[in-house]
């Protein structure tokens, strides 16, 4: 990618940040447990050495519920975490809350993409 193309892409990303939804940022913590309180606007990832244990976030629907997904190899259900070049997270598969608010969404490049009707 040429320098001008990178500058233009950076400008577009900056403008989207001003006027669009703010992407979730990743915060890594050492250990195998997430903190009791999760900060808004963050995907908190618990890791021990190079092993990813779990990821947690506040439900994006606004209900305030604490959501936690497992990243550890060999457990079920299990999610994969990928970080894009800007360090923004993608989780696979989607996150589906079966009770309460019943949120169902994808987290892609730090942005929540709702499944079904927008919230």
Contact 83, 43 (CB under 8 A): no
pLDDT tens string, the chain, 119 residues long: the values are 678 877 777 777 677 667 778 899 999 999 989 999 999 999 999 999 989 999 999 999 999 999 999 999 999 999 999 999 999 999 999 999 999 999 999 999 999 999 976 55
For residue 61, the 8-state DSSP code is T
pLDDT attached to residue 118: 58
Tell me which residue of 63, 70, 19, 18 sits closest to 40, measured CA to CA: 63
Establish if 42 belongs to a structural domain: yes
Tell me which residue of 28, 68, 19 sits closest to 48, measured CA to CA: 28
Name every residue whose Cβ is closer than 8 Å to that of residue 73 and which is 6 or more positions away in sequence: none
Establish if 93 belongs to a structural domain: yes
Tell me which residue of 66, 53, 62, 67 sits closest to 96, measured CA to CA: 67
At residue 54, the 3 state secondary structure works out as strand
pLDDT attached to residue 59: 96
Establish if 14 belongs to a structural domain: no
Establish if 110 belongs to a structural domain: yes
Contact 112, 93 (CB under 8 A): no
Query: Which structural domain, as residue segments, surrounds residue 78?
Result: 23-114
What is the tally of structural domains in the chain?
1
- Element containing residue 46 per DSSP (H, E): strand 42-48
Establish if 1 belongs to a structural domain: no
Instruction: For residue 54, give both structure tokens.
Output: 């779990």
pLDDT attached to residue 21: 82
Establish if 43 belongs to a structural domain: yes
Tell me which residue of 54, 58, 57 sits closest to 45, measured CA to CA: 54
Establish if 33 belongs to a structural domain: yes
Establish if 12 belongs to a structural domain: no
């Amino acid at each position: 990618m040429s320098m001008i193309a990178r500058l233009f892409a950076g400008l577009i990303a900056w403008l989207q940040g001003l006027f669009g939804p703010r992407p979730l940022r990743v915060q890594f913590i050492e250990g195998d447990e997430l903190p009791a309180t999760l900060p808004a606007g963050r995907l908190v990832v618990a890791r021990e050495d190079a092993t990813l244990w779990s990821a947690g976030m506040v439900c994006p629907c606004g209900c305030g519920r604490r959501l936690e997904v497992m990243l550890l190899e060999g457990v079920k259900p299990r999610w994969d975490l990928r970080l894009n070049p800007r360090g923004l997270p993608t989780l696979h598969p989607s996150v589906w809350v079966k009770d309460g608010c019943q949120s169902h969404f994808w987290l892609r490049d730090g942005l929540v993409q709702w499944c079904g009707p927008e919230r």
